[in-house]
A and B are shown apart, each in its own frame.
Chain A
Amino acid sequence: MRSPEKIRKAVGAVRLSRRGLLRAGLAGTAATALGGLATGCAVPTGSTGRNMVLWYWDGGLGDTVLKKAKARYDSTVDLKAIKIGGYYRSKLITTLTGRAHVPDIAGLKGEDMASYLPDADQFVDLRTLGAQKYESQYLPWKWQQGIADDGTMVGFPIDCGPVAHFYQYEVFRKAGLPYEPADVSAQLNTWEKFFAAGEQLRRRIRGTSLLTDVNSVFENIVQQGSRRYVDKDRHFIGDQEHVRHAWRLAVEAKRRGIVSDLVTGTPDQISAVDTGKLPSQLGASWATYDIKNGNPKTKGKWRIADMPVRPSNNGGSFLSITKACREPERAFEIIAWMLNAANQASGYVDAGLFPSTPASYGLKQLREPDPFFGGQVTTDVFGPAAQKIVVAYNSPYDVALGQPIKDEIKNVGVLGKDPDKAWSDAMSKCRRIAKHLGVSY
């Protein structure tokens, strides 16, 4: 045990240094806090100075277009395109709620579009900036999707997502299935024939599955139609025939063994695709970008054919201008230029973004053979598909009320849950959520 004397002596020796440290620390902290408070009081809700901030996601816009836009408008604004990782919609809404660092121009994903429309007041009505004069240049159903019920135009169309059947040429040939795109389109034109092909594939080549999961069957069939889960009058329609039909076919897909139990995007699934164990995907045009990035080793092995029955639409996004933008006219000028027919064509080359401007379809870039797909001109499939897409009503409540059904069919597919139980579980969950959200059941 030390005596008080000794302690005081020892302590005195370090007194100065500790006091100095304390002073420095306090000063530093005070500076930070004050600095924070100061900017806190004056922080703009959007970008600062010459900056024009644009938020998008990986594959949402082509690199070439962004570079050219930056150069083109450099004299007036500093266009900063920020690629947001993670869950985009969540991040955007959180930022809008946070009222700070809100981007001037925000990409909006097609599948989320309907859920942004009730909050249309967060965005500038593009009609007030003269958007209507561009309307004739875009696919009508796509243009409509960006418009809220009261006519406010929230989103300016980027791409659309016509879905086609991507398959691996050699694998199909080895399994005795049709392998030329025209043959595949013609012969696998109904779900029954598609499933039969899946069974044949599994029989002929061990360990293969035609599709990754039942969800791609389920969701594509729903998206082939004109109705989703909630109608215009806020009435739940997810228990009706169009959904039941999709459900039955998805269950059949599982029963007939044409789907795997892997999850899209996991390393296991990626490797299965690489080795030809998962030779097919029902994907939209933008999915070509994902395959090229995720499975580069499969270059040249793919072809594209029509999907069974008729094309569905999956995704396809928009650009919007938020209320935080200080120069909406300038922002609109940039958007309209980036999304004109010529630039949309280059977006197709860079990221597989299928143009929603029909004028692009004749352009050279869309007539180029794609080496990743064995030299096939992919527009030959996507172009007609885009024209055949059925217009659907997307309700803001579709996301919440479709989710339980999608979750349950996933349980059937991955965990082997009993389909009838899964359906009734899904319906009871939907009923609860509908009540919670004020959707009539």
Chain B
Amino acid sequence: MATALEKPPVIAERTPAAGPRSGFRRYWHLYAAISPFYLLFLAFGLVPVGFSLYLSFHRWDGLGSMEWAGLSQYQYLLSDSDFWSSIGNTLLIWALATFPMIFLAMVTAVMLNSAVRFKNGYRFAYFLPNVTSVVAIAIVFGSVFSTNFGLVNALLQAVGLDQVAWLNTPWGIKVAIATLMTWQWTGYNAIIFLAGLQTIPGELYEAARVDGANPVQTFFRITLPMLRPTLLFVLVVSTVTGLQSFTEAQVLLQNTSNDSTFSGGPDHAGRTMVLYFFQQTFDNNDFGYGAAVAWGIFLVVVIFSIINWRLVQRRGED
């Protein structure tokens, strides 16, 4: 959170009273406390990332020896239309899922906040989708979105509309995956928004009510601005996790091709960036290229997160 970094801890000045006076020895226990994390990260985060960078300049099939390849993997990446379309797929699915999800989560949180009875029951039920395994739920959704036997099409036909070949058309696939993601994350984010809502002082609402504001005005003038830090948190987390989505697309579409479990369906419409990474690495044994793809994904995630951050931040400043 941006604000957190600007404010130094209140007790900074008082720390010297805590331990021994001289230099590093004053702080060694603090470094020791945070070191397990950083050490683990070094071993299982930094070193692999470094190795991955190294690997992306080589050609390697996992079994033989590594050959130097210079920048050719990256050149290949830039000219790879499949990679670019996987980015497009990921962004589209992300958008289709995240915006409805945030809207629904906020609305749900506001409603939960005002509901007096059964509060805990509702919260439990809404959080439940997040508790399940994505593998299991993807199987369920696969059945629900089936063209001839799915509930969704049965409902559509019941109201007189045509069947949609959900898992067989590019847009249908994206909608199905997005629905799965929305279903899974709305409740979770609603709880987070709820926690955020509960930090808003009741006096503000009192004042608004006294002034005669209706619920909509209250929402847009008081609730929303106060929720901005929470919104930022939710957006950042949704972006980082949503752009890396893998399991939903993989499980929903794993039976759609006889050549690969990472194919992403017809025209690879459901092939997200990470799914593409898996395909290049494990289907094609192209570990060097896979590493380059992973770096490509990282760049996309960083750029997109920064864009997100700036957008929401700027709106807070006016």
B22 at the interface (CB under 8 A from A): no
- Are B62 and A93 in contact, CB atoms less than 8 angstroms apart? yes
Contacts of A429 in B (CB 8 A): 81-82
- Name the residue of chain B whose CB is nearest to the CB of A264: B258
Within the complex, the shortest CB–CB distance from B74 to chain A, in Å, comes to 12
- Are A90 and B148 in contact, CB atoms less than 8 angstroms apart? no
Within the complex, the shortest CB–CB distance from A26 to chain B, in Å, comes to 12
| Complex Cα–Cα for A86 and B283 (A) | 12
Which of B80, B259, B282 is within 8 Å of A406, CB to CB?
A: B259
- Interface-facing stretch out of A157-165, A360-368, A407-415: A407-415
| Complex Cα–Cα for A129 and B41 (A) | 47
Q: Chain A: residues with CB nearer than 8 A to chain B?
A: 86-87, 90, 93-94, 96-97, 115, 118-119, 122, 261-268, 271, 400, 403, 406-407, 410-411, 414-415, 429, 432, 436
Contacts of A271 in B (CB 8 A): 148-149
7 additional A-B residue pairs with CB within 8 Å, beyond A119-B64, A271-B149, A410-B266: A87-B260, A267-B146, A411-B267, A429-B82, A432-B79, A436-B76, A436-B289
| Complex Cα–Cα for A406 and B259 (A) | 10
Interface residues of B in 219-266 (CB under 8 A from A): 255-262, 266
- Are A90 and B283 in contact, CB atoms less than 8 angstroms apart? yes
22 inter-chain pairs at a CB distance below 8 angstroms, sorted by A residue, are: A86-B261, A87-B282, A87-B283, A90-B283, A93-B63, A93-B282, A94-B62, A94-B282, A96-B62, A97-B63, A119-B63, A261-B165, A261-B168, A262-B168, A271-B149, A403-B259, A411-B266, A414-B168, A429-B82, A432-B80, A436-B72, A436-B289
- Name the residue of chain A whose CB is nearest to the CB of B63: A119
Q: A90-B283, A400-B284 are contacts. A267–B62 as well, Cβ < 8 Å?
A: no
- Name the residue of chain A whose CB is nearest to the CB of B147: A268
Q: Say what secondary structure dominates the interface of chain B.
A: loop
Interface string of B268-288 (1 = CB under 8 A from A): 100000000000001111000
4 A-B pairs closest in CB distance: A97-B62, A90-B282, A87-B261, A119-B63
| Complex Cα–Cα for A356 and B41 (A) | 53
Q: A119-B63, A266-B167, A268-B146 are contacts. A415–B258 as well, Cβ < 8 Å?
A: no
Within the complex, the shortest CB–CB distance from A160 to chain B, in Å, comes to 19
| Complex Cα–Cα for A406 and B257 (A) | 11
- Are B168 and A263 in contact, CB atoms less than 8 angstroms apart? yes
- Are A266 and B256 in contact, CB atoms less than 8 angstroms apart? yes
Interface string of B70-88 (1 = CB under 8 A from A): 0010001001111000000
| Complex Cα–Cα for A415 and B256 (A) | 14
Within the complex, the shortest CB–CB distance from A406 to chain B, in Å, comes to 7
B130 at the interface (CB under 8 A from A): no
- Are A263 and B266 in contact, CB atoms less than 8 angstroms apart? yes
Contacts of B283 in A (CB 8 A): 87, 90
Contacts of B261 in A (CB 8 A): 86-87, 90
| Complex Cα–Cα for A62 and B259 (A) | 23
| Complex Cα–Cα for A269 and B148 (A) | 9
| Complex Cα–Cα for A400 and B260 (A) | 12
| Complex Cα–Cα for A406 and B258 (A) | 11
B143 at the interface (CB under 8 A from A): yes
- Name the residue of chain B whose CB is nearest to the CB of A267: B146
- Are B258 and A119 in contact, CB atoms less than 8 angstroms apart? no
Contacts of A410 in B (CB 8 A): 266
Interface residues of B in 111-149 (CB under 8 A from A): 143, 146-149
Within the complex, the shortest CB–CB distance from B274 to chain A, in Å, comes to 15
- Name the residue of chain A whose CB is nearest to the CB of B67: A438
- Are B143 and A267 in contact, CB atoms less than 8 angstroms apart? yes
- Name the residue of chain A whose CB is nearest to the CB of B62: A97
Q: A93-B63, A96-B63, A119-B63 are contacts. A415–B76 as well, Cβ < 8 Å?
A: no
Contacts of B284 in A (CB 8 A): 400
| Complex Cα–Cα for A429 and B283 (A) | 17
Contacts of B289 in A (CB 8 A): 436
Contacts of B147 in A (CB 8 A): 268
- Are A432 and B76 in contact, CB atoms less than 8 angstroms apart? yes
- Are B267 and A415 in contact, CB atoms less than 8 angstroms apart? yes
| Complex Cα–Cα for A266 and B143 (A) | 10
Contacts of B64 in A (CB 8 A): 118-119
Contacts of B148 in A (CB 8 A): 267-268, 271
Which of A86, A87, A119 is within 8 Å of B61, CB to CB?
A: A119
Contacts of B62 in A (CB 8 A): 93-94, 96-97
Contacts of B256 in A (CB 8 A): 263, 265-266
Interface residues of B in 148-193 (CB under 8 A from A): 148-149, 165, 167-170
Which of A87, A122, A266, A267 is within 8 Å of B63, CB to CB?
A: A122
| Complex Cα–Cα for A266 and B263 (A) | 14
Within the complex, the shortest CB–CB distance from A244 to chain B, in Å, comes to 21
| Complex Cα–Cα for A406 and B146 (A) | 24
Contacts of B146 in A (CB 8 A): 266-268
Contacts of A263 in B (CB 8 A): 168, 255-257, 266
| Complex Cα–Cα for A267 and B147 (A) | 9
Contacts of A261 in B (CB 8 A): 165, 168
Within the complex, the shortest CB–CB distance from A238 to chain B, in Å, comes to 16
- Name the residue of chain A whose CB is nearest to the CB of B256: A263
| Complex Cα–Cα for A122 and B284 (A) | 17
Within the complex, the shortest CB–CB distance from A220 to chain B, in Å, comes to 13
Contacts of A96 in B (CB 8 A): 62-63
Within the complex, the shortest CB–CB distance from B32 to chain A, in Å, comes to 16
| Complex Cα–Cα for A115 and B262 (A) | 19
- Name the residue of chain A whose CB is nearest to the CB of B266: A414
Within the complex, the shortest CB–CB distance from A194 to chain B, in Å, comes to 22
Within the complex, the shortest CB–CB distance from B108 to chain A, in Å, comes to 32
Contacts of A436 in B (CB 8 A): 72, 76, 289
Within the complex, the shortest CB–CB distance from A110 to chain B, in Å, comes to 14
| Complex Cα–Cα for A122 and B62 (A) | 12
Within the complex, the shortest CB–CB distance from B234 to chain A, in Å, comes to 30
| Complex Cα–Cα for A261 and B147 (A) | 11
- Are A415 and B266 in contact, CB atoms less than 8 angstroms apart? yes
Within the complex, the shortest CB–CB distance from A58 to chain B, in Å, comes to 14
- Are A265 and B255 in contact, CB atoms less than 8 angstroms apart? yes
Interface string of B88-105 (1 = CB under 8 A from A): 000000000000000000
Contacts of B167 in A (CB 8 A): 266
| Complex Cα–Cα for A90 and B165 (A) | 30
- Name the residue of chain B whose CB is nearest to the CB of A435: B76
Contacts of A407 in B (CB 8 A): 268
Within the complex, the shortest CB–CB distance from B124 to chain A, in Å, comes to 26
Q: A119-B64, A415-B170 are contacts. A265–B258 as well, Cβ < 8 Å?
A: yes
